[in-house]
Amino acid sequence: MRIAFTEELQFISDQLVEMAGLTSAALEQATTALMSADLELAESVISADEHIDAVRRDLDTRAVDALARQQPVATDLRTLVTAMRMSADLERMGDLARHVAKLTRLRYPNRVLPEALTATFRRMAEVADALVMEAARIIRDNDVEAVTQLKITDDEMDDLHRDVFRVLLDSSWDSGVQAAIDATLLSRYYERFGDHAVSIAQRVVYLVTGQWDEDNLNIDERIDVTEVSR
C-alpha cells in the first residue's frame, strides 16, 4: 500500500512539472502570436488552455482521493495540499497566457504593441519562461536553495513592468489611449505570470521545511476583471 501511495505522490509531482511545461509553451506561443498578429496561433493557445485545466482537474482529483484513502500526516499531507495549491498557480498561469492570446485576437488584424514596447515585451516573455521552467525544476528536485535566485530573476520582471509604465508616461508617447491600455494589461499579465512562478517555488520551501514565507504568497487571484473577451 505504501509503495502505491509513494508512486501516486510521484505521479502528482510529475503532473505539476507537465503543467509547468504546458504553461511555458502557452506563453511562448501567445507571445509569438502577439508579436506577429497571428490569429491562428492565438486561437490555438486559447483552445489549448482547456488541456491545462484538464490536467489540473485530474491532479486535484488524485490528491483528494489520496487524502481520503491514505489519511496522510506530516510531509505527505503537506505534499498533497501543496500540490493542489501549486496546480492552481499553474492553471492561473495558463489563463494569463490565454489572456495574451485573446488580446491578440481582439486587435487582429492590427498588432497590439507599438514598436516602442516590442523589445520590452520580448524580454518579459523570456524572463517569464525562465521563471516557470526553473520553478518546474525546483518542484522536481525539491531544490529550496534555488528559490533565492528565482526571486532575483523575478526582480527583473518587476523592473520590466516598471519600464513599460515609464514608456507610457513619457511625453513622447504617441500611440494613443487604446494602445496604452492594451500595454498596461499585457504588462500585468506577464508580471503576474512571474509572481505565480515565485509562489510555486515558495510552496516548495514550505513543503520541504514546513515554514511559510508570507511575503511571497500574497498572489492576487482577482485578475479576471481584466480578461479580454469578445
Domain that holds residue 157: 2-222
> Which CATH number goes with the domain that contains 135?
1.20.58.220
Kindly tell me if the per-residue pLDDT of 34 is higher than 90.
Answer: yes
Cα distance between residue 66 and residue 61, in whole Å: 9
Q: pLDDT tens-digit profile of 70-89?
A: 888 888 999 999 999 999 99
Residue 229 lies in a domain: no
Q: Is residue 98 part of a domain?
A: yes
pLDDT (0 to 100) of residue 226: 45
Higher pLDDT, 37 or 229: 37
| Cell output for 206 | 514550505
pLDDT of 1 reads 60
Residue (of 101, 95, 96, 94) closest to 41 by Cα position: 101
111: left (phi over 0), alpha (psi -120 to 50) or beta: beta
Q: pLDDT tens digit string along 137-178?
A: 999 999 999 999 999 999 999 999 999 999 999 999 999 999
- Does some domain include residue 57? yes
Is pLDDT of 217 > 80? no
- Grid cell 481582439 is found at 106
CA distance readout (Å), 143 to 90, 114, 202: 18, 40, 11
